[in-house]
Amino acid sequence: MIEKMQGSRMDEQRCSFPPPLKTEEDYIPYPSVHEVLGREGPFPLILLPQFGGYWIEGTNHEITSIPETEPLQSPTTKVKLECNPTARIYRKHFLGKEHFNYYSLDAALGHLVFSLKYDVIGDQEHLRLLLRTKCRTYHDVIPISCLTEFPNVVQMAKLVCEDVNVDRFYPVLYPKASRLIVTFDEHVISNNFKFGVIYQKLGQTSEEELFSTNEESPAFVEFLEFLGQKVKLQDFKGFRGGLDVTHGQTGTESVYCNFRNKEIMFHVSTKLPYTEGDAQQLQRKRHIGNDIVAVVFQDENTPFVPDMIASNFLHAYVVVQAEGGGPDGPLYKVSVTARDDVPFFGPPLPDPAVFRKGPEFQEFLLTKLINAEYACYKAEKFAKLEERTRAALLETLYEELHIHSQSMMGLGGDEDKMENGSGGGGFFESFKRVIRSRSQSMDAMGLSNKKPNTVSTSHSGSFAPNNPDLAKAAGISLIVPGKSPTRKKSGPFGSRRSSAIGIENIQEVQEKRESPPAGQKTPDSGHVSQEPKSENSSTQSSPEMPTTKNRAETAAQRAEALKDFSRSSSSASSFASVVEETEGVDGEDTGLHVAGGQCQHH
């Protein structure tokens, strides 16, 4: 009894294993082209390869039920090019209009360039947002009435992409930034295309047979004339599509077309050079095999198999087969095939997929070819290449915007280069570093020097070394750069000029004070400093401090010297004297006070 119960319980717990995964050998292959040709016709325009990998559009070509007097269905009512939908948004809605551009760096998304614009659509206010990442461009138009409160820039970016994770965006201050941004946005738009044209005769089922054909049937010649105009390659001035227009090494003529301001060059198999004894005809395959889309023209009913041509680039084929002639011209049957990872592209083929020769079919065919190439760019192989190209271009755009924006603010692009969430310090942080390093370096120099040096002031003449009291006072007061102790205000803008001169002097001091002795490398540049030091040298912007001997003078002499300078730049002199008397004062605090003094002058 127990064994029976346990047995039924085990039966309940048993389950069937999933079937083993099928390998390529387990699939039932599609019939080969030779098997199909052994049957009775008519044959399809396209046969799938034996193990698939392609999709087909347009398999119905039966026109027997349509009366001759009834026109075929027109597929060209609304044919449009399917280029990147966000590529022209900046030019259409932002360029030449008031808007704002920002940039930032996200740890996960990489470089970001953000454009926003206030828009009025109808009678409602909107925010038009355009965010560029290394993977794609996000675009959205958001009614302001839907927002509880007006968002900041980071919140706006999160409205179009929730994955944005930055602390802040930095404004673009470069006047020519729009030119750089529109160039990046439209780099995916091409006005030049090259397509292969392969002539397939009756019974041709291999690559060698396709590329070995030299003669052109009347139907094929008529189709080429319909496709575009025959041009001489010698000294051809239009888009040449990689063909030789100087030495004639790629043939003497080809087929060219200008369609909707886009130049198209066709690589026609029968017009490319033919090489005797070369079974592969590499002179022909090296052009057609490097195209992404090709047209296959069939004189008679022989199926085309996409894997007939071994190529890493060819991803889509448009197969056209001529069907008799009549008073209105020949009819053309059309089928389209592409690799599985190529998305569907329009315009869709009508049912049945049969066209009459005319301008409508030409427009349909050329639009289908261009859209096919755009769709092929989304295939895995081309998408990875496009993503790398886009990421590199976006990084270049980010750096250009950053460098030019920093230059507009008078800041260096390398020292002040910002990372996400924290700036590079900006002007005031640099100012504090300058003052701190200046105080420390001057103290060290004052201890090392044994002789008093000549002290020269910036923009206000020189002090004679014969007057030690004057020299000591000058050294004390010039701790604050740009403050000339004997300079008198010559007008209402004297203080502004003095502060501007001080900023220039600070920048010169930073370059000289931060550079190490000869033979040492600087941490920023990595180059060896070769500037020799001279005990008697002095500059206007960085005067030498008095020596240790001079510092030992009596306090009475120091006070007497300071009294002479109380009439000009009294605040700076008194501040400097405090620093001199209390050598242990923190340099960072000093920088803050001086920065405040400079701002007041502005």
Task: Provide φ and ψ at 578, rounded to 5°.
Answer: -65, -40
For 296-306, the pLDDT digits (tens) are 999 888 899 99
pLDDT: is 435 or 112 the higher one?
112
For 403-412, the pLDDT digits (tens) are 999 999 988 6
Q: Are strands 316-323 and 293-298 parallel, antiparallel or unpaired?
A: parallel
For 526-538, the pLDDT digits (tens) are 444 444 444 444 3
Mean pLDDT estimate for the chain: 73
- Give the confidence band of 72 by pLDDT, cuts at 50, 70, 90: low
What pLDDT, on a 0 to 100 scale, did the predictor assign at position 80? 87
CA dihedral for 442, 444, 446, 449, sign (positive or negative): negative
What pLDDT, on a 0 to 100 scale, did the predictor assign at position 578? 38
For 112-168, the pLDDT digits (tens) are 999 999 989 888 899 999 999 999 999 999 999 888 888 999 999 999 999 999 999
Does 493 have pLDDT greater than 60?
no
What pLDDT, on a 0 to 100 scale, did the predictor assign at position 13? 56
Q: What contacts 193, CB < 8 A, 6 or more positions away?
A: 241, 262, 263, 264, 265, 369, 370, 373
1-10, 28-37, 426-435, 535-544: range with lowest mean pLDDT: 535-544
What pLDDT, on a 0 to 100 scale, did the predictor assign at position 15? 55
Does 330 have pLDDT greater than 90?
no
pLDDT: is 564 or 16 the higher one?
16
| H or E, element range at 471 | helix 468-477
Share of the chain above pLDDT 90, in %: 42
Q: How far apart are CA 286 and CA 268, in angstroms?
A: 12
476, 453 contact by CB (below 8 A): no
What pLDDT, on a 0 to 100 scale, did the predictor assign at position 428? 45
What pLDDT, on a 0 to 100 scale, did the predictor assign at position 64? 65
Share of the chain above pLDDT 70, in %: 61
- CATH number for 84-188+379-414 (one of 1.10.3720.10, 3.30.1120.160, 3.20.19.10, 3.40.50.300): it is 3.30.1120.160
Does 592 have pLDDT greater than 90?
no
In the chain, what are the domain boundaries?
34-62+189-367, 84-188+379-414, 426-526+536-601
Does 588 have pLDDT greater than 70?
no
69-83, 182-196, 314-328, 373-387: range with lowest mean pLDDT: 69-83
- The tally of CA atoms less than 13 A away on the side-chain side of residue 226 is 24
pLDDT: is 489 or 437 the higher one?
437
Q: Are strands 316-323 and 331-339 parallel, antiparallel or unpaired?
A: antiparallel
Which range, 10-24, 50-64, 144-158, has the best average confidence (pLDDT)? 144-158
What pLDDT, on a 0 to 100 scale, did the predictor assign at position 29? 72
Does 425 have pLDDT greater than 80?
no
Angle (CA) 493 497 503, round 5°: 145
pLDDT: is 192 or 551 the higher one?
192
What pLDDT, on a 0 to 100 scale, did the predictor assign at position 5? 57
List of E strands, 29-123: 54-57, 100-106, 110-121
* Residue 121, strand partner residues: 124
216, 436 contact by CB (below 8 A): no
Task: Provide φ and ψ at 321, rounded to 5°.
Answer: -125, 125
What pLDDT, on a 0 to 100 scale, did the predictor assign at position 427? 40
Does 351 have pLDDT greater than 70?
yes
136-150, 307-321, 413-427: range with lowest mean pLDDT: 413-427
Q: What contacts 43, CB < 8 A, 6 or more positions away?
A: 36, 37, 301, 302, 303
Span 99-103, average pLDDT: 96
What pLDDT, on a 0 to 100 scale, did the predictor assign at position 36? 78
Which range, 59-63, 65-69, 547-551, has the best average confidence (pLDDT)? 59-63
What pLDDT, on a 0 to 100 scale, did the predictor assign at position 23? 52
Does 279 have pLDDT greater than 90?
no
Q: Could you name the CATH architecture of 34-62+189-367?
A: 3-Layer(aba) Sandwich (3.40)
What pLDDT, on a 0 to 100 scale, did the predictor assign at position 43? 85
Span 31-50, average pLDDT: 80
| Per-position DSSP letters for 273-286, written without gaps between them | ---TT-SS-HHHHH
For 438-469, the pLDDT digits (tens) are 455 545 544 444 444 444 434 434 334 444 44
381-390, 512-521, 569-578: range with lowest mean pLDDT: 569-578
Identify whether 347 is preceded by a cis peptide bond (ω within 30 of 0): yes
Q: What is the largest CA-CA distance in the chain?
A: 123
What pLDDT, on a 0 to 100 scale, did the predictor assign at position 544? 42
Q: How far apart are CA 152 and CA 504, in angstroms?
A: 35
Does 104 have pLDDT greater than 80?
yes
- Give the confidence band of 557 by pLDDT, cuts at 50, 70, 90: low
What pLDDT, on a 0 to 100 scale, did the predictor assign at position 239? 94
